[in-house]
Homo-oligomer: A and B are copies of this chain.
Amino acid sequence: MNVEVINTGTEILLGSVLNTHLATLARGLFPLGLRIDCQVTVPDGDAIREALYTALGRAELVIATGGLGPTTDDITREITAELLERPLRFHAEIMDEIAARFAARGLVVTERVSRQAQVPQGATVLPNEHGTAPGLYLRCERDGRERHLFLLPGPPRELKPMFENFVLPIVQQLVPPSAVECRVYHALNIGESQVEERVGKQLLAIPGLELGYCARPGEVDIRCIGTKAVLAAAEKIILEALGQEIVTRDGLPLDQAVVERLAQRKESLATAESCTGGAIAHRVTNISGASAVFLAGYVTYSNEAKARDLGVPPDLIAQHGAVSLEVAAAMAEGALRRAGTDWALATTGIAGPTGGTPEKPVGTVCIALARRGGPTQLQRHRFFRDREVFKDQTARTALALLLKTINNS
C-alpha cells in the first residue's frame, strides 16, 4: 500500500514552525508495515486541491493534515467535498460537542467555529478529544482502485491522539500483519563515513537487510530494517565493530534509557551545569518518572555560583580556569555531596560564539561524572558547533558517559 502525506500550513513553508506531524504519522504507521513514500507541504488555501488530486492518483492511503480549523484560510474540508463530489452536510452532534466544549471554557460559539460541524457525505467522523475540529475518513475510487483519505486537524496536540486512537485502528484493518521490524543504533562522537567504513560492507552483504544512516553533529544513527533473523545478524556485526560508540541499541532515546536504568537500580542523579545551562536537567525531566531519580540540578553559570552552590574553591578556578577538568570534577563532587545523590554530572565549557582563548578555544568542554564512593570520571572534548548544538552535543555526551558507566558497573 502506497502512502502519501500532505501537510498544509503556510507557517511551515514560511519557516515559522517545524513539521512535527510527519514524525508522528511515520512512527505510528511503521509497525503496521507501512512507509511514507512521499510527503508534500503546501500553503493554506487552494493549493491543497492539486496536492490531494495528485496524491490520490499515486497512493492508496493519503493523510492530509491541517486546514480544518475555524479561520478563513482553513478550507481542506470544503475542497475535499468538491473534489470527491460529496456535498457537505451539517452534523448536529458535532455542533453539540463543540458547543459543550466552548461552554465548559466559558467561550461563545462563533459562526466560524460552526463550520467545523460540516461533514462531506459518506465520511466517517473521527472524534477530536483535544479541540473542536473533528477528523474525517473517506473512501473513494480512482483508476479502479480503492483509496483511503484521512483529513486530520493541524494542531499537534489534536492530531496525535486522533491519529493513534482512531486512524491507526482503521488502517490496521486494511493491511496484513507486518513481519518486518526497525532497529536504530545511536553511535556517539563518530562520523558517518567512519561508521560505514567499519560496518557498511558486512551489513550490505546480509540479504534482506535495509540499511540507512543518519548523521547529526557528533552522532550517527544506523537504521536496520528487516526480519528478526536479519536484524540479529546485523546487530552482531554492529556491536563487534562499534561497541564503544553505540550508546543505545533499542531505539530507546538516550534520556529515557538513563532515567529507566537509574530507576531500575533505585539510584539518583544531580546535575551541575555551566555551559549546558540546564540542558541536561531539561532532557532528564522531559522523561516521565524523572522525579524518582533526579533530585536536584544546579545551573552555575557564574564563578560565584560555582563556589557558593557547589563549593568549588575559588582558588581552583583562579588556578585552572572555570573551564578545566579540575573545576568540572569539583562541580560534580560538590553536587553529589550537596544533593546526596548516587551520581552527579557536571559540564563546563565555552559554548561561544565569544569567550574563547588560544589555549581554550570556543568549543572546549570538560565533563565530569562523580559517583558515591567511587572515582570521578573526566572527559575533555572539543565540539566544533554553534551554541545550541554545542549544548546539545555536550548534554548527550555527558548522559552517554553516565549510561555507559551504569551499564558497565
Is A338 part of the contact surface with B, judged by Cβ < 8 Å? yes
Interface bits A5-29 vs B (CB < 8 Å: 1, else 0): 0000111111111111011111100
Within 8 A of B (CB), among A145-171: 154-157
A: contact size bracket? 35 or more
Within 8 A of B (CB), among A181-233: 182, 184, 191-194, 196-197, 200, 204, 212-217, 221, 223
A13 touches B18 (CB 8 A): no
What is the CA–CA distance of A42 and B37 in the complex, to the nearest angstrom? 7
Q: Is the interface of A mostly helix, strand, loop or mixed?
A: mixed
- Oligomer: number of copies: 2
Stretch at the interface among A87-95, A312-320, A326-334, A385-393: A385-393
B18 touches A223 (CB 8 A): no
A285 touches B391 (CB 8 A): yes
A157 touches B389 (CB 8 A): yes
What is the CA–CA distance of A9 and B23 in the complex, to the nearest angstrom? 12
Within 8 A of B (CB), among A223-279: 223, 271, 273, 276-279
B299 touches A305 (CB 8 A): no
Chain A interface residues (CB < 8 Å from chain B): 9-20, 22-27, 30, 35-44, 47, 51, 69-73, 107, 110, 112-113, 130, 132, 154-157, 182, 184, 191-194, 196-197, 200, 204, 212-217, 221, 223, 271, 273, 276-282, 284-286, 288, 290-291, 294-302, 304-305, 308-309, 338-339, 351-355, 384-389, 391
